[in-house]
Chains A and B, each alone.
Chain A
């Protein structure tokens, strides 16, 4: 277990560093002059040159690269070109805001998806209806679901705010969007795992012993759903924390995704880099946590597959 864990952590660190290097290189090939983005109306070349010197943009690429990664290893993500404050201080509050949404979204998908999955496995009459719902939700892009919810509950029924923000009233629709779009995946896993478990030898034994259905379901069958569901929750938390860009754009939720989009438009390289790196860390970290939890719940998965 310890060896597997160390291996996983090492791979995760390598993946995050790879993302950082890739992001750094891509950022530098992106056309556009950050100095001009900072001072769009500056006429004299001297002003622009001055800005470049201040930001060390005049140095060779390799020096900038070494500088950046030297600082990165000390936990410093640099200073925003536009806001003149440290990237970490810009990102952390945004990360928390995205975190609330991610958590609410995951709770919504587990509830909706779990209900659909259990209903379709245990009640044959509902199977076709659930399959149709699953298919529809699976086929819709996040931003379309978001816009349709906004249209119905915001513009038509006036039940939800349409102006954006990060309050309790504002979280309902974006979380519901994430929940609806994510639900079919959970429904699928739950249904799959339940069917697997119901067809297994240990359920046959339990039935043969004369245990009541309810007991078999809760003590033997449902437990097996937990382990793949946890893997999925981990993947989703990571993916959502790396920025639910479209949902944040649709609802004006001031999270890390909206920050990244704004910074990209302002050519604010350090902030874009920071959000990409923090996003990659979130993805890798939550996958790792999910793997460890799963090994704990279901020791059969202890062996490393790859």
Chain B
């Protein structure tokens, strides 16, 4: 950060000169930080795998003759089975591809649902004030005070296993934080000139909320959503690991890790393969989040200590 302070930029530079080019490059780097590019590329790869999952083989086919060692143990990495096989002789690569598909669907759908619910609650609470605000924010407090995993396990008992259950649980638990976030932002914006001007001109409440407040809240949500998606991927894996999300034989990175745990002492790749996949998916979302944050000029600061 210190390096940006010194050397005041020359007032004018020749058009088309090296300086302009360098500044163009700097401007592009500020719009597209390396973290953002890396995250987007990684995410695109995972999206591709998710879409093309069937191309990686059948995740349910148990190959009990060639898929297991003579003593009946899972196979390690080989050309026939690039990521080995699991305890039932199923191709780990095919299961991985389908597990990634599950994670991506959960990340996208529950990210949208939880943020939409949270934003609606926060906007309504911040905008209407009075009793609406009191009730909505106390409900949000309840949402924030819920012991996450325990509440998830209780809700899981109400539904049959599968994708819908995971998405419902994540939405039910993940809406409260964005609600809090949006609420705070609306309170901050409410007394800004443009909102008061709208009110003075007789604009309706809905019009102020949708045309003046929502556009300011949108960037906040865009910055928050990669983090939310990353948490959703992690939470899906956690739920499926605990048997409260997606159950076998359907592949999910979480239940694959659970399978891997029982083979921990003799086939560690069954734990490591899905673990690395979760790591990379979550990391791609976090990189995007970091990249979006790096684009925010408000966050640039320069140290007075010169280091």
Contacts and interface: CB of A to CB of B under 8 A. Distances in A.
B175 interface: no
Contacts of B144: 15, 283
A135 B149 contact: no
Contacts of A47: none
B154 A30 contact: yes
Interface string B146-186: 11111101110110000000000000000000000001100
B303 A198 contact: yes
Contacts of B280: 139
Interface of A: 11-12, 14-16, 18-19, 22-23, 26-27, 29-32, 122, 124, 135-136, 138-144, 147-148, 150-151, 155, 195-196, 198-200, 203-204, 207, 213, 216-217, 239, 242-243, 245-246, 249-250, 257, 260-261, 264, 272, 275-276, 279-280, 283-284, 305-306
Interface string B267-295: 01001100100111011001100100000
A203 B149 contact: no
B265 interface: yes
A275 B151 CA distance: 10
Question: Which 5 A-B residue pairings sit nearest by Cβ, starting from the closest?
Answer: A279-B147, A18-B142, A242-B147, A139-B282, A198-B303
B146 A19 contact: yes
Given A15-B138, A207-B305, A276 B238 contact: no
Given A15-B138, A15-B142, A22-B142, A279 B150 contact: yes
Interface string B216-241: 00000000000000100010011001
A205 to B, nearest CB: 9
B153 A139 contact: no
B158 A143 contact: no
Given A27-B154, A199-B304, A276-B154, 20 more contacts: A19-B145, A23-B151, A29-B158, A30-B158, A136-B279, A140-B278, A141-B237, A144-B237, A144-B275, A147-B264, A151-B271, A195-B301, A198-B301, A242-B147, A245-B150, A264-B157, A275-B147, A279-B147, A283-B145, A306-B183
A261 B279 contact: no
27 contacts: A15-B144, A23-B151, A27-B154, A30-B154, A30-B157, A135-B287, A138-B286, A139-B282, A141-B278, A144-B275, A147-B257, A147-B260, A147-B261, A151-B264, A151-B268, A155-B264, A198-B301, A198-B304, A203-B304, A243-B150, A246-B242, A260-B153, A261-B242, A272-B154, A276-B147, A276-B150, A283-B144
Q: Which of A22, A203, A213 has the most CB of B within 10 A?
A: A22
Given A144-B279, A155-B265, A306-B184, A18 B141 contact: yes
B27 interface: no
B264 A242 contact: no
Contact of A216 (B157, B234, B271, B305): B305
B279 A243 contact: no
A276 B154 CA distance: 10
Given A207-B304, A260-B153, A305-B184, A140 B279 contact: yes
Contacts of A243: 147, 149-150
Contacts of B50: none
B275 A204 contact: no
A103 B137 CA distance: 30
A139 to B, nearest CB: 4
B87 to A, nearest CB: 16
A84 B270 CA distance: 41
B259 to A, nearest CB: 12
Interface residues of B, number: 52
Contacts of A203: 303-305
Given A139-B230, A139-B282, A199 B145 contact: no
A278 to B, nearest CB: 9
B158 A124 contact: no
B139 interface: yes
A306 B137 contact: yes
B232 to A, nearest CB: 11
A284 B304 contact: no
B279 A139 contact: yes
B145 A16 contact: yes
B86 to A, nearest CB: 16
B307 A260 contact: no
B158 A31 contact: yes
A305 B302 CA distance: 28
Given A195-B301, A257-B149, A26 B158 contact: yes
Nearest to A221: B305
B120 interface: no
A69 to B, nearest CB: 16
Q: Which of A139, A198, A245 has the most CB of B within 10 A?
A: A139
A128 to B, nearest CB: 10
A199 B158 contact: no
B187 interface: yes
A136 B304 contact: no
B141 A11 contact: yes
A252 to B, nearest CB: 12
A26 B147 contact: no
Contacts of B275: 140, 144, 147-148
A249 B265 CA distance: 18
A27 B304 CA distance: 57
A273 B74 CA distance: 41
Q: Which of B230, B261, B302 has the most CB of A within 10 A?
A: B261
A15 B147 contact: no
Q: Which of B138, B142, B238, B264 has the most CB of A within 10 A?
A: B142
B150 A196 contact: no
Contact of B257 (A139, A143, A150, A195): A143
